[in-house]
Amino acid sequence: MADQFLAEIRIVPFGFAPKGWAFCDGQLMPISQNTALFSLLGTNYGGDGKSTFALPDLQGAAPMHKGQGPGRSERFIGETGGSTSVTLLVAEMPAHNHALSMSARPSDNLDPTGLSLGTGNNVYVTTAGSATLGPQALAAVGGDQPHNNMQPFLTCNFCIALQGVFPQRQ
């Protein structure tokens, strides 16, 4: 992997980091042995900035370009975010209702316990009534459990150049 810039990141389809490269796995590096690389990365990805700095950690994370696109939040070098699972809140659910249609006709069964759909005068019908039900009449639903929030993916390795041409600013 010749002619790389120092700190350049490449995706490789094999299971090892080539000579002069390291996995983008967040590992701490000694500043004293990697001064040029530290001058480019600083502590954007971790480390104490005195004796260590960290390489980017792209394990389980999708890279994102820094800056602010139209209508989007500004993103900074080294910033992380997102979540692999999410629990929806009621405020995040689509607007909907739980309509209940009933017959306005009286029933001849005073004890509806254990009944499903009745027959004769006990049948639920689609004719809408005008009764307002109390908030306790319809129970809350849902299990309050998180669901997967991960985009489709293909696993490859991200490697960063520990050696190479020092990039010049334009």
Q: Is the pLDDT of residue 119 over 50?
A: no
Domains of the chain by start residue, with CATH: 9-63+151-169 (3.90.1340)
pTM (two decimals)? 0.70
Say whether pLDDT at 123 is over 60.
Answer: no
* 51-109 pLDDT tens trace: 999 999 999 899 999 999 999 999 999 999 998 888 888 888 888 776 665 555 555 55
Q: Angle 55-59-62 (CA atoms, 0-180°, nearest 5)?
A: 100
